[in-house]
């Protein structure tokens, strides 16, 4: 399954121990997580300015994200697709990556519910979806 984690989910994952942190770990373990340069830049800016993490820690998180997620290009999206133009890059990323889900706390994105065939859900909703659909267990080799 291909997943887009919005900036607010990533920030919450690194800022506190809780649902977003657990969800982030689950997604890295079981799914393919896609990010883009705009999402990475926004994440770094918020970690530095809002969370007030030191530059060195922000660079470590950026390197961690780049090493564990797929960094993808973004497609151009019709500006009328979302009421907040700042969210168009998230839709463009999801479209380019052929994502199954966008996981976000952003009310403008959540108001859409779907973008094309991509589900837009809260972290809590995706946690439930992921937990109800465990990964396939590969058979034990008898060799």
pLDDT over 50 (residue 19):
yes
Alpha-carbon distance 92 to 74, whole Å?
5
What's residue 132's pLDDT? 83
35-79, pLDDT tens digit by residue? 999 999 999 999 999 899 999 999 999 999 999 999 999 999 999
Q: What angle do CA 102, 71, 82 make, to 5 degrees?
A: 35
Could you tell me if 33 and 65 are in contact, meaning their C-beta atoms sit under 8 angstroms apart?
no
Taking all residues of the chain, what is their mean pLDDT, rounded to a whole number? 92
Q: Where are the domains of the chain?
A: 2-132
Fold of 2-132: Rossmann fold (3.40.50)
């Amino acid at each position: 399954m291909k997943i887009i984690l919005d900036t607010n989910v990533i920030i919450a994952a690194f800022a506190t121990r809780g649902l977003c942190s657990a969800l982030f770990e689950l997604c890295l373990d079981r799914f393919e997580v896609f990010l883009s340069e705009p999402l990475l830049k926004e994440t770094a800016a918020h970690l530095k300015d809002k969370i007030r993490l030191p530059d060195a820690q922000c660079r470590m998180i950026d390197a961690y994200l780049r090493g564990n997620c797929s960094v993808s290009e973004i497609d151009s999206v019709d500006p009328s697709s979302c009421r907040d133009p700042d969210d168009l890059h998230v839709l463009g990323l999801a479209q380019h990556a052929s994502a199954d889900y966008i996981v976000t706390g952003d009310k403008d994105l959540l108001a859409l519910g779907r973008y094309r065939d991509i589900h837009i859900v809260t972290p809590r909703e995706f946690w439930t979806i992921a937990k109800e659909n465990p990964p396939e267990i590969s058979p034990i080799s008898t060799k």
